[in-house]
Structure 1
Amino acid sequence: MTTVYIDKRLNLLITDSRVTSTIPRNLFGFFPLRPKYQYGVVNQKTLYVHDRLFSASGVVSEIDKVLDWLINKVPVIPDRKLSCHCVLLSKDYVIHMILTKGKFIKKLEYLHEDYTFFMGSGGEYMLDAAIHEEHTTLYDKVFSTFMDVHNHDCFTDDNINVYRF
């Protein structure tokens, strides 16, 4: 999982840099236990595709299916148990591509001037920044809120990546 925050007021997309993978575990080789989490850091979680940004949160194997569909037109066969939420962001619109419960959902949204969107494991902690009213300190509010997400969400770190659109 990751945390992604989009703010049209600032023309910014912000992500963290933590990658979480799971290591399956079994007791005596038979009884499944809760998987162990392993954390890593990456430099870039968002791709520039011409004049658009592609960003995602969720299971990497499902994100790869969406990318393969975008690039190679390979049909998407979603997993029933795994999910992801991908966005392709332009200055005027965002295309949501969601794999969940065995379905592939595509949705187009046009961006109004106050558009904000957050997704991923720490997204709900960005609500405070999204409803901020004072435009003079909006940058400070968004960045300080994002830097605080890691205190509430173990899948997010305080190392942020910022992209302009």
Structure 2
Amino acid sequence: MKKRGFEIVSRYDKQQIQLPQRQTQFAAGYDLQAAEDFLVPSIWRSGALPTPAALKPVLVPTGIKVFLPSDEVLLLVSRSSGPLKRGLVIPNSVGVIDADYYNNPNNEGEIFVQMLNFFSQDYWIHKGERICQGIFTKYLITTDDVQNTIKRNGGFGSSGK
């Protein structure tokens, strides 16, 4: 059985998408790329202070999904160059991809990366541009944890609905 890794979701051709890779020998994170060109509007678009509507993140598609053991999670974190060079941040600081997100019926488990653009100009992410890092890690539960039997039946942001 597969332990952990990435796959391309069915709505993309396998030649269109590159699976995440670590960029150096000791890199902790796998760089995820944008699956298509995507506009991330500036929160300063109007020139005035950002409105609540301007602070709504966009969801950038990656075209990939992840499979991992039930006691692990994939953390999505900003690349160090994202905020500094492009003004792009993950608004919740860390995205969490649980094991049961894989192949969910709503979106096949495709990973979307939430992004905000804090620079004064809109930013076009180009297909294949590295947009965040994915870091695999184990997590712990309490000794008196009550095992939840509810199955995930949706995609992005579906738990707790």
Give yes or no for TM over 0.5. Answer: no
TM-score, length basis structure 1: 0.26
The normalised TM-score by structure 2 is 0.26
* Structure with the higher fraction of residues in helix conformation: 1
Question: Between Structure 1 and Structure 2, which shows a larger proportion of strand residues?
Answer: 1
